């Protein structure tokens, strides 16, 4: 696997590959890689001839400085995992390489970016759009692969790609879970033993809630899921909403959307976890 810290080296490698007729897959990450990321690499290698992975903890998408400080980082371990997964190249730039000067761009992709994470983490999606658009410009992939754990992020990135007329095809890949159901996340490394034991209740209760659609309205289901999760020690729901899969706007009745989807954020002690579930 080739490792690049600078844009020029990566770009000439990718240009050579493209000239040889290869299709370039791209997996952007913030490192602390786990099975979820490796499933994206596997998926990229299925659809493309090679897979470039970026590891870059993007400061502009953290609305909480403590979250940026404590975000887990281990580039050496990430490189070993990527090598074993068959990734072709790792791009691990410094902050000044991605942002030689402050990125002042403001993206406005409308309502998909304003609800849920957009409302609770002001500036977060603007930072995601800044870095993803910059990475797309640098890597110029044919396809980019994103995990559905960040359900809203995929909708926001698709909207951004349409808005800037990016030719990159955005491919959404299923959530990878631990055996006990907890969605794989780099943040799971930050859980205390007590938090780790409690966290699988999030997906257990979400899964059970699929059986309540026949008898409860969306609002009643939201209230019951919230109540059951909050009853688990160390868990506290920040928000849980049921939205239409495409517009990401709240639904008030099950007939409001052909594809209702539940999106949740839960504090497990100090650690903020997100998950989501389809109700169709
Ligand atoms: O999902 C992530 O890890 C990040 O938001 C991304 C897409 C790599 C941008 O920094």
List residues near ligand 1 (CB under 6 A).
28-30, 58, 61, 128, 131-132, 150, 153
Which residues contact residue 16 at a Cβ distance below 8 angstroms, ignoring those fewer than 6 apart?
none
> Please, what is the angle between helix 151-163 and helix 124-139, to 10°?
60
| Domain harbouring 145, CATH code | 3.40.50.620
At residue 85, the pLDDT reads 98
| Ligand 1 nearest-atom number relative to CA 28 | 8
In angstroms, what is the span from residue 256 Cα to ligand 1's centroid?
31
| Domain harbouring 253, CATH code | 3.30.1300.10
**Using CA atoms, how far apart are residues 236 and 60, in angstroms rounded to an integer?**
26
| Domain closes at, from 126, 152, 173 | 173
On whether residue 178 sits in a domain, the answer given is: no
On whether residue 154 sits in a domain, the answer given is: yes
In tens, the pLDDT along 147-190 reads 999 999 999 999 999 999 999 999 999 999 999 999 999 999 99
* Strand (E) or helix (H) holding 52: strand 50-55
On whether residue 278 sits in a domain, the answer given is: no
Provide the domain limits for residue 44: 2-173
Specify whether 167 is located in the same domain as 244. no
Specify whether 116 is located in the same domain as 201. no
Which residues contact residue 214 at a Cβ distance below 8 angstroms, ignoring those fewer than 6 apart?
none
Specify whether 239 is located in the same domain as 137. no
On whether residue 181 sits in a domain, the answer given is: no
Q: Is the pTM of this model over 0.95?
A: yes
Specify whether 23 is located in the same domain as 139. yes
Specify whether 58 is located in the same domain as 133. yes
On whether residue 145 sits in a domain, the answer given is: yes
User: How far from 74 is each of 71, 79, 105, 179, 189, CA to CA, in Å?
Assistant: 10, 9, 29, 24, 12
Specify whether 32 is located in the same domain as 71. yes
Substitution candidate for ligand 1 out of 55, 61, 274 with most atoms within 8 A of CB: 61
At residue 125, the pLDDT reads 98
Strands 260-268 and 89-91: unpaired
* Full DSSP string of 11-25: HHHHHHHHHTTPPEE
Q: Which residue from 244, 276, 246, 241 is spatially nearest to 257, judged by alpha carbons?
A: 244
Residue nearest to atom 2 of ligand 1 (CA): 29
Structure tokens at 62: 């953290």
| Domain closes at, from 139, 173, 207 | 173
| Ligand 1 nearest-atom number relative to CA 128 | 9
Q: What is the dihedral of CA 59, 61, 62, 68, to 10 degrees?
A: -40
In angstroms, what is the span from residue 205 Cα to ligand 1's centroid?
27
**Using CA atoms, how far apart are residues 55 and 79, in angstroms rounded to an integer?**
9
Specify whether 160 is located in the same domain as 80. yes
Q: What is the DSSP letter of 210?
A: G
Token pair 């696997």 is found at 1
Q: What is the dihedral of CA 25, 30, 34, 35, to 10 degrees?
A: -30
User: How far from 83 is each of 5, 18, 91, 155, 274, CA to CA, in Å?
Assistant: 16, 21, 13, 30, 28
| Domain closes at, from 134, 152, 173 | 173
On whether residue 280 sits in a domain, the answer given is: no
Specify whether 150 is located in the same domain as 198. no
On whether residue 279 sits in a domain, the answer given is: no
Residue nearest to atom 9 of ligand 1 (CA): 128
In tens, the pLDDT along 201-239 reads 999 999 999 999 999 999 999 999 999 999 999 999 999
Task: Answer for the pair 252, 231: CB distance below 8 angstroms, yes or no.
Answer: no
Total domains in the chain come to 2
pLDDT (tens place) for every residue of the chain, 280 residues total: 999 999 999 999 999 999 999 999 999 999 999 999 999 999 999 999 999 999 999 999 998 899 899 999 999 999 999 999 999 999 999 999 999 999 999 999 999 999 999 999 999 999 999 999 999 999 999 999 999 999 999 999 999 999 999 999 999 999 999 999 999 999 999 999 999 999 999 999 999 999 999 999 999 999 999 999 999 999 999 999 999 999 999 999 999 999 999 999 999 999 999 999 999 9
Per DSSP (E only), the strands in the chain are: 2-4, 24-29, 50-55, 89-91, 143-147, 169-173, 235-244, 260-268, 271-278
């Amino acid at each position: 696997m080739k490792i690049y810290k600078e844009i020029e080296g990566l770009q000439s490698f990718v240009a050579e590959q493209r000239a040889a007729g290869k299709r370039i897959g791209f997996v952007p990450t913030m490192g602390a890689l786990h099975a979820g990321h490796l499933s994206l690499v596997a998926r990229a290698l299925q659809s493309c001839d090679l897979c470039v992975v970026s590891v870059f903890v993007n400061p502009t998408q953290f609305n909480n400085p403590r979250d940026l400080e404590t975000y887990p980082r281990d580039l050496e371990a990430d490189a070993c995992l990527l090598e074993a997964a068959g990734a072709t190249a790792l791009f691990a730039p410094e902050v000044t390489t991605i942002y030689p000067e402050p990125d002042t761009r403001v993206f406005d992709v409308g309502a998909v970016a304003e609800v849920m994470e957009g409302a609770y983490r002001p500036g977060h999606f603007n930072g995601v759009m800044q870095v993803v658009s910059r990475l797309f410009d640098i890597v110029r992939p044919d396809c980019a692969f994103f995990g559905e754990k960040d359900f809203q992020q995929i909708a926001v990135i698709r909207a951004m790609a349409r808005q800037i007329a990016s030719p990159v095809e955005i491919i959404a890949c299923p959530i990878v879970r631990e055996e006990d159901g907890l969605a794989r996340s780099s943040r799971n490394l930050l859980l205390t033993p007590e938090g780790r034991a409690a966290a699988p209740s999030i997906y257990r209760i979400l899964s059970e809630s699929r059986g309540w659609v026949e008898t409860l309205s969306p609002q009643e289901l939201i209230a019951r899921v919230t109540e059951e999760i909050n009853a688990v020690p160390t868990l506290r729901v920040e928000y849980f909403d049921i939205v239409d899969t495409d517009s990401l706007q709240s639904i008030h009745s099950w007939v409001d959307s052909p594809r209702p989807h539940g999106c949740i954020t839960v504090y497990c002690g100090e650690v903020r976890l997100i998950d989501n579930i389809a109700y169709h």
